[in-house]
């Protein structure tokens, strides 16, 4: 089996065709489902599984992903990654073959941190990761993060290319939440882990940098969206302050949706005017457990509004 297919070979029990839901087999470097739908694995070790139905989302650009990669590797954000990995490592995960699916994985850094922590804590377990993102540029980065990770270009609002009851952890970090699909793919004893900003997140630079703000009702909407299919299990606030320089502030703006509305020159000028600034990081890591499944839950492609 060619090396570029190795992560997918180890994830065949997790994956399913996004068009029909059937399982895959390999034909050379191509995933072929039992209905004949086929998806080629690229030389960069990712596979595109977009179904052509259109999407409500806009994919990240290479520049946005580069900025995000720098931010997530920086002292400002690294403690948040560590907290997510710690919380998942402490979950009562069952079985020697574990699967973590990061929906809207971006650069893949959160997923890689989780996979490595689980592999370290469970040396006898087979820990696999699947990272999904709408951006092919993101998929390339995800594929390069860890040999145990399968990278897929997919739409979070469509049927996910994952089998029913196939993953122990679904991770969603600042990403779309297709709750019905989360319920379809999670195991009965699995967990949904969501990372969301509070209204205090980056509050010192939001207005002067022209960034999108977090409204006060976000937490309540998330709870309402999740309540039909999941129950809250635990929650942890991650909040601290750091003094950031101009280039770090530029990256915080350039890595997110505000970059679609501001030019690099505008971002640089506003950051220079701010100068060194004490900035708040404020996130909530929420863990949810699935409610008992009913037959109707397995229909797939049922969309919930983004909380």
- Binding-site annotation, residues: 17, 20, 33, 37, 77, 107-108, 201
- Look up residue 106 and give its DSSP letter: T
pLDDT lower than 50: segments of the chain: 1-2, 296, 300-307
What pLDDT sits at residue 1? 39
What pLDDT was estimated at residue 111?
A: 98
pLDDT number for residue 278 = 98
Quick one: DSSP state of residue 57?
-
| Residues 6 or more apart in contact with residue 184 via CB below 8 angstroms | 160, 164, 165, 297, 298, 299, 300
3-292 has which fold?
Rossmann fold (3.40.50)
**Nearest 5°: phi and psi at 145?**
-75, -40
Binding residues for Zn(2+): 17, 20, 33, 37
Question: Going by C-beta distance under 8 Å and a sequence separation of 6 or more, which residues neighbour residue 1?
Answer: 9, 26
| Tokens of residue 230, six digits | 């999941």
The token duo for 177 is 């939440």
| CB atoms inside a 10 Å sphere around CB 83 | 17
CA distance linking residue 249 with residue 268, whole number of Å: 9
| Positions at the binding site for S-adenosyl-L-methionine | 77, 107-108, 201
């Amino acid at each position: 089996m060619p090396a570029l297919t190795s992560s997918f070979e180890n994830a065949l029990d997790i994956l399913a065709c996004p068009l029909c839901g059937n399982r895959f087999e390999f034909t050379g470097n191509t995933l072929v489902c039992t209905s004949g739908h086929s998806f080629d694995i690229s030389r960069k070790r990712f596979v595109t599984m977009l179904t052509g139905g259109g999407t409500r989302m806009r994919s990240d650009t290479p520049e946005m992903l580069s900025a995000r990669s720098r931010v997530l590797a920086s002292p400002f954000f690294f403690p948040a990654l560590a907290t997510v990995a710690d919380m998942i490592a402490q979950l009562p995960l069952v079985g020697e073959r574990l699967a973590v699916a990061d929906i809207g994985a971006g650069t893949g850094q959160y997923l890689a941190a989780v996979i490595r922590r689980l592999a370290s804590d469970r040396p006898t377990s087979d820990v696999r990761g699947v990272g999904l993102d709408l951006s092919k540029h993101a998929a390339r980065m995800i594929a390069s993060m860890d040999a145990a990770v399968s990278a897929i270009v997919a739409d979070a609002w469509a049927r996910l290319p994952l089998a029913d009851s196939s993953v122990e952890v679904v991770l969603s970090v600042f990403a779309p939440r297709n709750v019905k699909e989360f319920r379809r793919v999670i195991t009965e004893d699995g967990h949904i882990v969501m990372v969301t900003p509070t209204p205090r997140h980056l509050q010192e630079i939001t207005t002067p940098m022209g960034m999108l703000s977090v409204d006060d009702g976000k937490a309540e909407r998330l709870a309402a969206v999740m309540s039909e299919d999941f129950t809250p299990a635990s929650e942890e606030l991650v909040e601290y302050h750091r003094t950031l320089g101009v280039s770090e502030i530029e990256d915080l703006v350039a890595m997110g949706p505000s970059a679609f509305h501001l030019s690099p020159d505008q971002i640089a000028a506003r950051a220079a005017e701010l100068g060194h600034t004490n900035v708040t990081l404020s996130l909530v890591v929420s863990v949810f457990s699935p409610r008992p499944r009913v037959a109707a839950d397995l229909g797939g492609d049922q969309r919930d509004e983004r909380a």
